[in-house]
Structure 1
Amino acid sequence: MTVVQQLLEEPLVLLFTILFIGSVLGKAHIKGISLGLSAVLFTAMFFGHYGYQVSETVQNLGLTLFIAAVGLQVGPRFFRMMRTSGMQYGLIGMLIIVVAAAVTIAVAALFDLPEALAVGMMSGALTSTPGLAAAIDATGDGAASVGYGIAYPVGVLAVVLFVQLFPKLFRVNLMQELEQKSGPKRSRESPEVMIIEVTSEAAHRRTLKELKAGRGTSAVVSRVIRGTRNIISLSDTVIMKGDRLVTVGLKEDLEQVRDELGKESDDSFISADRVELRKVTVGAEDLIGKSLRELGLRSRYGVTVTRVERGGFEFNQHPGWRLEAGDVLTVVSSEDRVEEVEKLFSRRKLPVTNVHLLSLSLILLLGVLAGMIELPLPGEQSVSFGAAGGPLLIALIIGHFGRLGPIRARFFQPSNQVIRDLGLVLFLAGAGTTAGEGLVDTVAEQGLTVIAAGALITIVPMLIGFFVAWQLLRMSSVHALGSLCGGMTSTPGLGVLNKLVSTDDAAVAYAAAYPFALVFVTLTSQLLPLFL
């Protein structure tokens, strides 16, 4: 036995070697595509092939951490989206999962695939690591990881290629079609401030609500200046001819409001010295979970929110938007009022990683216990949520409310990311070594049929989901492709799509479909073995 082999016999040396090599490989980019943390799985499969095994305890610890973090991440939006227009994107996500499950049942019967292998292939085709976690938990078989490893590359490449080829094959101008179906859209430029002097007779003695100025766009009237008076603008504020409106938004939207109401004022004193645009980070615990409407920033503080940044994406503000720790708000007002609001959002300063260990421990404990509960089914059968579904369910519920008794669930996004990534790599290391043990034998036994099956499980749901969104629901191509990427849980696909369009529409559709797909692929992966 060599020195290297002796070292790898040590459990911690093996674990951290797999994590190190997998992390290095995951950072490599080929044509803009990278494996990311999934490279840890393939690295672990390599070591597993040669007989090295990561402890099952490490794998289960990673599983519960990862699934709980996913539930806390999507919990604040998942249930609320069911009551909003975002539900149509969620339906696309659910449709893709249902079709993928049906295709998996069909190909498993057609090619006589083992149960665990088929469920794992569905998770790989949908590039869903939570799905893999649920598949392993439900089947108790490492073959699920083998199926995931076989289908995953196909799942990534199929969505990325489809997003790029669709506009060319169907001769669709994405931006032009988006404007035709949804009206003019905003570009990714930063908000600006414009002083608009009201000269329109039609606007005289009418309220902002009656004027509908800027409605449906990023433009917001922050204040009304009448002579020497500085008035906070509300929906019932009456506009007079000669008023100067401090308006904030993207340039093209400001120009639209200017053309409707009057002309741009050259009052540089107001623009330069009285109005300040600033980005404010949400940190105060007692504000997390509240909506912009509930905070009443405009009526109480005279401050207008124009944009909200979350998870690297920027969105136009909406009164019903509920704040999460780490959200970045673009606010506008006078310098003193902006500073007051900045103190409001950071008055209880929290560290960058604000993990509350008591809460996290309780969430995991309750999740594991919930996963052990047996639910009766017809025919004297039963099913349980397991180590994946239990923590997911508890985290979704607690994430929705934000706080239940002593449990606090609103962590900063970086904190949640740390929990999620740490849990994911520990889980992948364990799942990969188990899968690697039988990878070569499985491929040799099944041959090209497993690759063909993986391609079918990817392509059929992808095409059906997209064309239902595009043709039946009459979404624009951008929204349809965005919801497709969310339904397939394909972040690489969204990255490619974002390069093709200059608005945040694709990201919004993705963000609406993704939570539904994430939850339902996890539940489906646990229930699917009952039908195979």
Structure 2
Amino acid sequence: MDVLSFLEDPLVLIFVILLLGSVLGQLSIKGLNLGASGVLLAAMVFGHFGYIIPSTVQNLGLSLFIVAVGLQAGPRFFKMIKSTGIVFGILGFLIVLIASITTIIVAQVFQLSAPLSIGLMTGALTSTPGLAAALEATNDPIASVGYGIAYPFGVIAVVLFIQLLPRMLKTDLKKDLKRTTGPVKHKGSPKSKMFKVENEQLHKKTLKELKLNQNSSVVISKVIRGDRSFLGRNDTVILKGDELIAVGFSEDLDTLKEKVGSEVRTRIEYKDNLKIKKIPVESEELIGKNLREIKLRANYGVNVTRMERGGFEFNQNPSWRFERGDILTVVGSERRLKLVENLFGKRQHSETNVHILSLSLILLLGIFVGMIPITIPGIGSMTLGVAGGPLFVAILIGHFGKLGPIHARFYQPSNRVIRDLGLVLFLAGAGTNAGSGLVEVVINEGFRLIIGGAIITIVPIFLGYFIAKKLFKLSIIHSLGALCGGMTSTPGLGACNNLIDTDDPAIAYAAAYPFALFFVALAAQVLALIL
């Protein structure tokens, strides 16, 4: 039997494309690689030779990928709307808007078709959900060709901009971060300090009556009085001469010092009783609950100082609803930390799989929402479709975590498996469909596609940074982090993280990314009506 005849079997074809695409995606040149988009390029080659993956496989991959992305973005999306982080969200929207306007101009100047133009935009913004929306809105697989041509430049341009800009400006990024006002203030790493109560007005007051700022990161873990010590609860009474052990960022600790008295640099033995431990959230019983509901400080005598989700760290927040895989930084005695570890670790191996019922309901609701016609005055009507509908529903349900029988707080590694598997299946299908016309399009439109993709990439980068720095008065680091989120560029975030040892780039990225994610998918459908 001919070796190539095996490729006639769709199952064999899929895994051959995934294998070769994965190898191609992992090839690195000076730290840059194509990642999952290697599958798209490999699939295009097979598509050129007439091999096609069934559309059902492509649609299945698209559905899984879009829902996983929406569930991941949901918890941050609405949280940022209600906070000062909305500035980053606005930036994400403006970057997509600039890219959309640039795409319209490029399409007119270079006489490019709507599918190619929209594909270029999604590639320039390195947005696979945008490509999915583009394919559905245009019903033309050639959009994948535009994406594949613009994507490499979209990755490289953002990384180069981030690496070269600080060198050209010759600015001390840490000093710029500290002196620049913005929605996120630079605070450094949390520390533990001891303070002596010397303020007469605090004598016989409770810790709650200290009235720490609501946004303060400070947590008072223990009150020491002579040879005795008390847990740092809201109803704990403090006396003049007591010593407080507090954990928080330097800036907030300095504020506490001004209110309380002086810092104590001796009696280190008291600190030895306190341990700091990172505890993962694994218990099914605690998923969807928050610190306020489980009364961790009152019932267990420990304090949570930080919370980490998806690689990003945040100050502790009593209203933060737990997802499986969250990591809490907890301060307390070794015995109490063990109790808390058992609390959050119950049944940690009993259920780490996806809730199939919930996933199915989210997909069905998303598809139904995607069918609802939306009228845009002066342009026409559109639908969110198979890409936009599930994305919107997943973001909404991801925010609440649970709606009736629907559980959206999946175990994070499981969510990544859904996302990555769905992505490569979708790219494999989209690539083979686009590959049939690849050579012809590149021969006829090659130069115009390359130049057009470069323009659609460069204009949002420069204008987005200018708006962040000049209009919103953000620091260089916050501007670059938001730019990466608006361009949905994870490699760009990696380059940004290498510039400075803080989590500020990641915070700005995480705030802008969900907005850009949603608006790119929406823009693809609107542009399909305009172009």
Same fold, TM-score > 0.5, yes or no:
yes
SS at match of 1:329: strand
Distance 1:212 1:14 in 2: 64
Counterpart for residue 420 of structure 2: 421
* 1:183-237: CA deviation from partner (whole Å, max 9, x where unpaired): 983446xx55444444677876666577677986754321211234433335675
* Whole-angstrom distance in 2 between the partners of 1:119 and 1:49: 21
In the alignment, the residues of structure 2 paired with residue 303 and residue 354 of structure 1 have an alpha-carbon distance, to the nearest angstrom, of 30
Instruction: State the identity %.
Output: 56
Pair 1:448 & 2:447 matched:
yes
Contact preservation (8 Å) 1:371, 1:384 = yes
For residues 96 and 305 of structure 1, the distance between their equivalents in structure 2, rounded to whole angstroms, comes to 36
Q: Distance in 1 between matches of 2:338 and 2:60?
A: 43
Alignment match, 1:404: 403
1:298 corresponding residue in structure 2: 297
The structural deviation recorded for 1:279 is 1.2
Q: 1:87 to 1:292 in 2, by over 3 A?
A: farther
CA RMSD of aligned residues (A): 2.7
Deviation (angstroms), 1:158: 1.1
Within 5 Å, which residues of 2 pair with 1:7-86? 7-86=6-85
8 Å CA contact 1:278, 1:332 repeated in 2: yes
Letter in 2 for 1:492: P
Secondary structure of the 1:344 match is helix
SS at match of 1:447: helix
Are the structure 2 counterparts of residues 376 and 180 from structure 1 closer, same or farther at C-alpha, using a change threshold of 3 Å?
Answer: closer
Question: CA separation in 2, counterparts of 1:376 and 1:262?
Answer: 63
Equivalent in the alignment of 1:126: 125
Residues in 2 aligned to 1:46 and 1:187: alpha-carbon distance in whole angstroms: 48
- Contact map agreement 1:65 1:419 (CA 8 A) in 2: yes
Deviations 1:132-174 (A, max 9, x none): 0110011111111000001101111111011111112222221
Aligned to 1:325: 324
The C-alpha deviation readout for 1:325-351, integer Å capped at 9, x for no partner, is: 211001011223223322332335355
The alignment status of 1:267 with 2:267, answered yes or no, reads yes
CA distance in 1, matches of 2:270, 2:376: 69
Contact 2:43 2:431 in 1 (8 A): yes
- Secondary structure of the residue aligned to 1:36 is coil
* Cross-structure match for 1:225: 224
Alignment of 1:38-437 (within 5 A): 38-182=37-181, 185-187=186-188, 193-198=192-197, 218-234=217-233, 239-249=238-248, 261-272=261-272, 274-349=273-348, 351=350, 353-376=352-375, 381-437=380-436
| Residue 502 of structure 1: aligned partner | 501
The size of the alignment, in residue pairs, is: 528
Structure 1 CA distance for aligned equivalents of residues 413 and 251 of structure 2: 34
Shift in alpha-carbon separation, 1:51–1:404, aligned structure 2, 3 A = same
Equivalent position of 2:512 in the other structure: 513
Q: C-alpha displacement at 1:101, in angstroms?
A: 0.8
Q: Which amino acid aligns with 1:276?
A: K
C-alpha distance after superposition, 1:279-320 (max 9, x if no partner): 111123343334444444324432111121211232332344
Q: Distance in 2 between matches of 1:216 and 1:375?
A: 40
Task: Give the AA of the match of 2:467.
Answer: V
Provide the secondary structure at the position in 2 that maps to 1:500: coil
Alpha-carbon distance between aligned partners in 1 of 2:194 and 2:153, rounded to the nearest angstrom? 53
User: Is the Cα contact below 8 Å between 1:310 and 1:326 reproduced in 2?
Assistant: yes
- Is this contact kept in 1: 2:25–2:35, CA < 8 A? yes
Q: Distance in 1 between matches of 2:219 and 2:465?
A: 34
Q: CA deviation at 1:20?
A: 0.9
TM-score by length of 1: 0.92
The question of whether the paired residues in 2 share the 8 Å contact of 1:214 and 1:220 is answered with: no
Give the counterpart letter for 2:261 in structure 1.
L
Q: Which amino acid aligns with 2:317?
A: H
Unaligned runs of 5+ in 2: none
Query: What is the Cα deviation at residue 31 of structure 1?
Result: 1.5
Structure 2: which amino acid aligns with 1:411?
Answer: F
Q: In structure 1, what is the Cα distance between the partners aligned to 2:211 and 2:375? A: 55
For 1:363 and 1:267, the matched residues in 2 are separated by: 56
Secondary structure at the residue paired with 1:81? helix
Aligned equivalent of 1:482: 481
Letter in 1 for 2:147: Y
What is the CA–CA distance in structure 2 between the aligned matches of 1:331 and 1:264, rounded to whole Å?
23
What amino acid is the match of 2:151? Answer: Y
Distance of aligned partners of 1:404 and 1:258 in 2 relative to their CA distance in 1, 3 Å threshold: closer
CA distance in 2, matches of 1:379, 1:185: 45
Q: Which amino acid letter does the alignment assign opposite residue 70 of structure 1? A: V
* Residue 378 of structure 1, CA deviation: 5.4
C-alpha contact 2:284 2:351 (8 A) present in aligned 1: no
Q: Is the 8 A contact 1:21 1:43 kept in 2?
A: yes
Report which stretch shifted further, 301-310 or 207-216.
207-216
1:224-273 Cα deviation digits (max 9, x unpaired) = 1123443333567554343122222467976886697324354344222x
Q: TM-score, normalized by length of structure 2?
A: 0.92
Structure 1 pair 43–508 and aligned structure 2 pair: CA distance change class (3 A): same
Q: State how far apart, in whole Å, the 1-side matches of 2:255 and 2:119 are.
A: 52
Mapped contact 1:224–1:245 kept (Cα < 8 A): yes
Amino acid in the other structure paired with 1:485: C
* Letter of the structure 2 residue corresponding to residue 270 of structure 1: Y
